[in-house]
Every structure is written in C-alpha cells, then in structure tokens.
Structure 1
Amino acid sequence: MSHFITFEGPEGSGKTTLIARVFKHLSKSHEVIMTREPGGIGISEMIREILLTKGNDMDERTEALL
C-alpha cells in the first residue's frame, strides 16, 4: 500500500523543516520518496530559484502559471 502526503502553507511557515523531520522519521521504517514542487530536476530547480528570488520582476500571471 502506498501513501501520498502533502504539506501546504504560506512561505516561511516551516513546511521544509516539517517535511525533513517527517521524512527522517518515516525513513526509519518505510521506503520514502521526498519531492517538492516546483523542483526535483534541473530545470525545475532553476525555476524554483527564480520564483523564490525576492524582487524579481516577473508578471503575476507568469508566476502563477509556473
């Protein structure tokens, strides 16, 4: 049986910290895969970096689509 767990919340709410702790705990007894969106592969990591850069002049519609 497989499970899919997601974490939602605003920027700075501690999602990354919580995910790391849950991953560490579950990895002790289960096979666990951790992903994030956008992210995971080269181009996605580059897009993520752009989106998280403060002061980027990206149009809001473009950001929402990414």
Structure 2
Amino acid sequence: MNSVDIGTGLFSTLEGGEGSGKTTQGEMLNRYLQDLGHPVVWTKEPGGTDIGQALRKVVMSNRHRDMVPETELLIYLADRTQHVKSKIIPAIAEGKIVISDRYHDSSVAYQH
C-alpha cells in the first residue's frame, strides 16, 4: 500500500438520515472551531464544488427519472472525485480542518 503525506490538516464527516441535524451540527462545529482560531473548510456532498453543484442538479432533476442506478452512482463518484481533488486534499495540505456534510457512508447507504 502506498501512502501520501498530504499535510497536517484534518478531515471529518457528518453522516445521518435526512433531517437528523447534520447541517446544524456541522455549522455549529464550524463556528466553534473558527472561534478557537482554527482554519476550517465547511463543505458537503453532493455539490461541494461548482462542478459538483451542476452534477447534483442532474441527479435531482425530475427530468431524469429514468436514470439507471449505475449512472447515478457514476455521477456521484464524479462529484466525489472533483470534491476530493479540488477542495478536500488542498485544504488538508494547507493544514485546515475540513468538515463535510455527508461523504462515503451516505454513498453506501443510498446506492445499496
């Protein structure tokens, strides 16, 4: 197994069902950590980047009700790839704390 040193930051995710309070708790944690002087990036999946927002609209659109599950999964994986490479890894490399509203566990739950 290869390992890559991407910095001294931290990556944490919040998972739970719809309406369970992930966003509320994440926003509170974000404010708390910032008040302590920590650099924080608050993000979400799907849609944590501009490209991710566009991909999210495709999946959520009523015009695409006939989308097969495999296509939906590939769109979510494209969103995750963009999110990780353009937002999460750079922030961790800069020593920031990254908090994500949803991540891998949600993919497993929703795509299962």
Aligned pair partner of 2:39 in 23, 31, 34: 31
State the match for 2:69 in structure 1. Answer: 60
Which protein has the bigger strand share? Answer: 2
**Number of aligned residue pairs:** 66
Q: 3-state SS of the aligned residue for 1:4?
A: strand
Q: TM-score, normalised by structure 2?
A: 0.47
Structure 1 residue 5 displacement after superposition: 1.2
Q: Structure 2 matches for 1:1-66, cutoff 5 A?
A: 1-29=8-36, 30-52=38-60, 56-57=64-65, 58-65=67-74, 66=76
Q: Deviations over 1:3-57 (max 9, x none)?
A: 2111112222221111111111111011111122222322211222343457851
Q: 3-state SS of the aligned residue for 2:45?
A: coil
Between stretches 29-38 and 45-54, larger displacement belongs to 45-54
Which protein has the bigger helix share? Answer: 2
Structure 1 unaligned regions, length at least 5: none
RMSD: 2.3
Partners of 1:12 and 1:56 lie apart in 2 by 24
Q: TM-score, normalised by structure 1?
A: 0.70
Identity fraction in percent: 38
